Amino acid sequence: MSIQSITHVEFHCADADRAAAGLGADHGFTVEPGVPQADGLRTVRLRQGAIRLHFHSAADPAHPVARYAARHGDGVAVIALGCTDPRASLERAERHGAVVLDRAGGLVAGFGDLALRFVPQPDRPPAGADAAAPAGEAAGRATAAQPAGALLEALDHAAICVPAGELAPAVRFCEAALGLHRIFGEYIEVGEQAMDSSVVQSASGEVTFTLIEPDTGRRPGQIDTFLADHDGAGVQHLAFRTDDIAAAVRAGRARGVEFLSTPGTYYDALAERLGGTAIPVGTLRELDVLVDQDHGGQLFQIFARSTHPRRTFFLELIERQGAGTFGTANIKALYEAVERQRAAASV
C-alpha cells in the first residue's frame, strides 16, 4: 500500500511561536532553523527523533489557519502521510468519498475539520548520515543532529474523537480510502460513562489512528466534553514513543510537565495481573506509569496533564517492549486518569 508513515503533524494556532515554544520546552524538541514564511503564515517547526511538528499561525482572521484556531482552539489540523505515490493515494481516497480540499497540496478532508495531506515518502538517509529523519522511519535510530538527552523517538499514534454514530463510518473510510486495517477494538467504561474505540493501522505499522466515539446511551463524559469544547471531531492526543519511559517522565517532570496520577491500588494488583514487569513496579509507582501486555510483550504508558485552555489536547508517552497493540487494562486506567483531571477541573 502507498501510505507508509506520518511525515509530520501540522498545528493551527493563534500564535505559532508561543505554542511551539511551550511544547518544545516541555518535551525537549529542537527548533528547525530557516523555515520560509509564505501565504501570510508564520511557521515554526520542531523535531525530535523521527517526530516532526509544524506550528502555523496567521495574522489575517480570514485565513483558514486563523479560522481553525478561532473555532477549535490550537490543535492538530493536518496529519501528513508519507506515500510511495501521493497522487495515487489521493485518487484512491477521492474514489472512496474523500473531499479534496487542495489537489496541488495533496490535501483531503479526514475527520471533521482534521485534514490529511498526501506527501512523498522521504528516502531513508544512508547509514551513519546526519539525519533530520522524517516521521515514520524506524523508531530509535540515533542521529548526530539530535541534542544530547533527546528521549522521544517517533509518533506512535494519534487519538481522534468522532461524534456518536461516526466510529464505524470512520473505520470504513480508513480501510477503503486509506488502505489501513483495523487491528484492535475496545469498549471502555469509566464510571457511568462509556466510549467505543477502534485502532486502524497501515501495513507498514507506522501510521496508527485510535478512533473513539462516546456512548450516548450512558452519562455524558470526557469524549462528549471534548466534542463540545473542540466543536467537532479532532485529535484528542498524540502519543510519542520512547525506549526509556522512566527517563522521559523524569526529564519531563524536571522541565515542569505534570503527568496524570494513578491510585496505589493499581500497582498493588500488578503482580497478580501480569506477574513480572520489565520496569520494576516501584519505579512505575513512583512515576505513575501504567503497564499492560499483549501477545507480543509489554507496553508502558502515561498521559501528560493538559495545559490547553479548552483541555482538548494533551500528550502521551509510550514505551513498547514487544507489544504491538494496546492493553485493555491500560486503556481503562488511562481514561480514568483523564476523568479524574476533568472532575477536578470542574470543581
Residue 203, Cβ neighbours under 10 Å: how many? 13
**C-alpha cell, 154:** 517517533
Q: Which of 271, 326, 315, 227 is nearest to 11 (CA)?
A: 315
**How is residue 288 annotated by DSSP?**
T
CA angle 280, 28, 120 (to 5 degrees): 105
- What pLDDT does residue 141 have? 36
Q: Which pLDDT value is given to residue 34?
A: 77
Output the pLDDT for position 138: 36
Q: Which residues of the chain have pLDDT under 70?
A: 1, 124-149, 346-347
Q: Which domains does the chain have, with CATH numbers?
A: 3-122 (3.10.180.10), 153-346 (3.10.180.10)
Assess contact for 243 and 321: CB atoms under 8 A. Answer: no
Alpha-carbon distances, residue 262 vs 214, 281, 294, 338 (angstroms): 23, 13, 21, 10
For the record, the C-alpha cell of 83 comes out as 506515500
Q: Shortest CA distance to 235 belongs to which of 60, 74, 65, 16?
A: 74
Residue 268 cell numbers, joined:
498493588
**DSSP tally for the chain: helices H, then strands E:** 10, 16
Kindly state the helix (H) or strand (E) to which residue 89 belongs, with its residue range. Answer: helix 86-95
Neighbouring-strand partners of residue 173 = none
pLDDT at 143: 39
* Per-residue pLDDT at 69: 98
Query: Can you give the pLDDT at residue 346?
Result: 66
Question: What pLDDT, on a 0 to 100 scale, did the predictor assign at position 128?
Answer: 37
Q: What are phi and psi of 275, to 5 degrees?
A: 80, -135
What is the DSSP pairing of strand 208-214 with strand 193-201? antiparallel
Model pLDDT, residue 277: 95
Are the beta carbons of 241 and 152 closer than 8 angstroms?
Answer: yes
DSSP 146: S
CB contact set of 304 (below 8 Å; sequence gap of 6+): 26, 252, 257, 258, 259, 260, 314, 315, 316, 317
| Cα-Cα-Cα-Cα dihedral sign, residues 103, 106, 112, 114 | negative
